[in-house]
Amino acid sequence: MNFKHIMGAAALLGVAATATAQEAVVKIGHSGPLSGSQAFSGKDNENGVRLAIEELNAKPITVGGKKIKFELVSEDDQGDPKAGVAAAQKMIDNGVKFVVGPYNSGVTIPASRAYNDAGVIIATVASNPKITQQGYKNLFRVNASDTQLGSKMALYAAKELKFKTVAVIDDRTAFGQGVAEEFKKQAKLSGMTVAGHEFTTDKSFDFTSILTKLKAKNVEAIFFGGYAPQGAPMARQMKQLGITAKLLGGDTICTAEMGHLGGDAVADNVLCSQGGAILDKAANGPAFKAAYTKRFKQNADVYAASFYDATLLFAQAMQKANSVDPVKVGPVIASSTYKGVAGTYAFDANGDMKQSPVTIFTFKGGQPVALSSY
């Protein structure tokens, strides 16, 4: 190779090195149940993050003079607290500084300690009030809390459905207990009688004895604090036992999987509360749903839009902070407002949304259908 060619090759290498220097990789972590009975929710949430990252990389954005390439790092926390802490540590060791998730409250509470100690910013939809009462400055809830989900369902039952007597079943998870207690508290304040509070687990599928006991009390509604894999067989068993009471629940039964698993036992007899305004009526809701369906060949489920919003919220805060350092990005998130698909995100001192509308859904043709924001 002659001198001219050597110099030409060196110049090309220099250009490549400069291009690399002007690009920074930012890892966005996702933690959720990607296996097991709740995998449908975990994959839906992961898809929300993936869609946002793909859109960001197609632009792309610049921070601190460098083009940012976002990279998804997704871990299966199995909806289990121990697995969730292990997933958190794996992401921390992998240099992840921004995480969307976990999905489950029981996972988020212990995992958030690990993330906090490592200086990681997390945005979660997990709804147990204890999560944001821990005092972690870089923890943000991008959804309604159990206080809002449970109480709004109780208010709807009392004011709109005119129910007088209800019962409660919870699955003893951090989420199930939290949302059930909030429903029960508001039910009593709204003048309803809570005729019974029964307990099950998030691994159970036979609720016959519990339901038989509640049938004898002639309740008009049963509020279930738990998830769709248990809620669906509960609805089927209510139908088999001739129980005409409505089955009420929180956001975790507001999913197409509830209709899929429950069949014709899940219809207008089931109502649930979900954080966020009605997506079809949101300014960018239809466009998001269309983009999601085109990319993943299926409809977006409960929280895909919230996970999508959280990822874009991180990116906006990085641009405002002109940094990808969580120490600088965190305060920007805490003090800024981001208008997303599922809502407008502005946070109080605890990291909860200042305003989080709740939408009441029922089911038609196996699909959740919005009734009203409440």
Is the pLDDT at 16 greater than 70? The verdict is no
Per-residue confidence (pLDDT) for residue 10, from 0 to 100: 41
Q: Write the secondary structure of 37-63 as one string of H (helix), E (strand) and C (coil).
A: CCHHHHHHHHHHHHHHHHHHHHCCCEE
Measured between alpha carbons, how far is residue 369 from residues 57, 284, 313 in Å?
A: 33, 18, 27
d(CA 175, CA 230): 14
| Predicted pLDDT at 179 | 95
DSSP 267: S
Out of 38-47, 204-213, 323-332, 355-364, pick the least confident: 355-364
297: alpha, beta or left? (left if phi > 0; alpha if psi -120 to 50): left
* Rounded average pLDDT over 351-360: 91
pLDDT confidence tier of residue 335, bands split at 50, 70 and 90: very high
Which positions ≥6 away from 27 have C-beta within 8 Å?
Answer: 70, 71, 72, 73, 91, 94, 95, 96, 97, 98
Among 6-15, 255-264, 353-362, the minimum mean pLDDT is found in 6-15
- pLDDT grade, residue 9 (50/70/90)? very low
Mean of pLDDT over the chain: 92
Distance CA 244, CA 310 (A): 40
Tokens read off for 135: 């005092």
If you average pLDDT over residues 122-141, what whole number do you get? 96
Hey, what amino acid is at 94?
Answer: N
pLDDT digits (tens, 9 = 90+) for 133-176: 999 999 999 999 999 999 999 999 999 999 999 999 999 999 99
User: Would the CA dihedral through 194, 196, 202, 207 be positive or negative?
Assistant: negative
pLDDT for 276 beyond 90: no
> Measuring CA to CA, which residue among 306, 305, 357, 349 is closest to residue 132?
349
Q: Is the pLDDT confidence value at 12 over 80?
A: no
Q: Which strands make up the sheet holding 367-373, listed edge to edge? A: 193-199, 165-170, 221-225, 246-249, 270-275, 358-364, 367-373
Report the phi/psi class of residue 64: left, alpha or beta, with left for phi > 0 and alpha for psi in -120 to 50.
left
Residue 329, token pair as written in the block? 């990005």
Q: Does residue 88 surpass a pLDDT of 80?
A: yes
Helices 105-117 & 174-189, crossing angle to 10 degrees? 120
pLDDT at 319 over 80: yes
How far apart, in Å, are the Cα atoms of 307 and each of 48, 103, 147? 5, 10, 21
Distance CA 313, CA 110 (A): 24
Q: Give mean pLDDT, residues 320-327.
A: 98
Query: Radius of gyration over alpha carbons of the chain, in Å?
Result: 23
Q: Which pLDDT band holds residue 53 (cuts at 50, 70, 90)?
A: very high
d(CA 287, CA 300): 12
Within 10 angstroms of residue 190's Cβ, the number of other Cβ atoms is 16
Where do we find the tokens 């609805």?
235
The angle, 0 to 180 degrees and rounded to 10, between the axes of the packed helices 326-335 and 304-321 is 110
* Percent of the chain residues past pLDDT 90, beyond the cut: 87
Q: What is the pLDDT at residue 22?
A: 86
Amino acid identity at 372: S
Read off the pTM: 0.85
The pLDDT value given to residue 327:
98
- Given a cut of 70, whether residue 4 has pLDDT beyond it is no
